[in-house]
Amino acid sequence: MKIGIVGAAGRMGLANIRQVIQTPGLELAGAIERPDAAELGKDAGLLAGIDKLGIAITSDPVALFKASDAVIDFTRPEPTLAFAALAAEHAKIHVIGTTGFEPTQIDRLKRFGGKARIVHSPNMSLCVNLLFALVKQAAAALDDSFDIEILEMHHRHKVDAPSGPALA
């Protein structure tokens, strides 16, 4: 399966590049960044701390979607919506780990899901997704007399707060 990465020079983008290269059956189809990114033209593998792959970071999302079977996206809401439109246009799989969406943006994302296979989660961790299910069960068992508070801590590079998992 050919995988494209958007936001390729970010922390998750680089981790996704490494994971694609290390996973049998997956091939890195391409990697893109913003048009003003300093990483444009650099080798995706070298940026990710692995061997040179001969795949330069570009800023062309149309070419990326055409070359990929699936695209992994951990960017920001507005670019993610533009990428979801491309996924719908090209009938591609769009795996989204982006957080910070407004309700109207989620509605737009759902509409694109009619033409593309979209997988969206505010957190891709198996443990966090298990926690989502357990919290739902606990909330259903408690009445309004319980006072529940959510506390979260993040690394200093965290872009959105509260985080997607905390909101979920």
Please identify every residue annotated as catalytic: 154, 158
Half-sphere exposure of 67 (CA within 13 A, CB side): 17
β-sheet bridge partners, residue 27 = 2
Whether the CB-CB separation of 118 and 87 falls below 8 Å is answered with yes
SS3 30: strand
Q: Which residue has the tokens 């997956």?
A: 26
- 33 burial class (0-12, 13-18, 19+ CB within 10 angstroms)? buried
Rounded to the nearest angstrom, the gap between the alpha carbon of residue 10 and the centroid of all alpha carbons in its chain is: 11
CA dist 116 and 149 (Å) reads 36
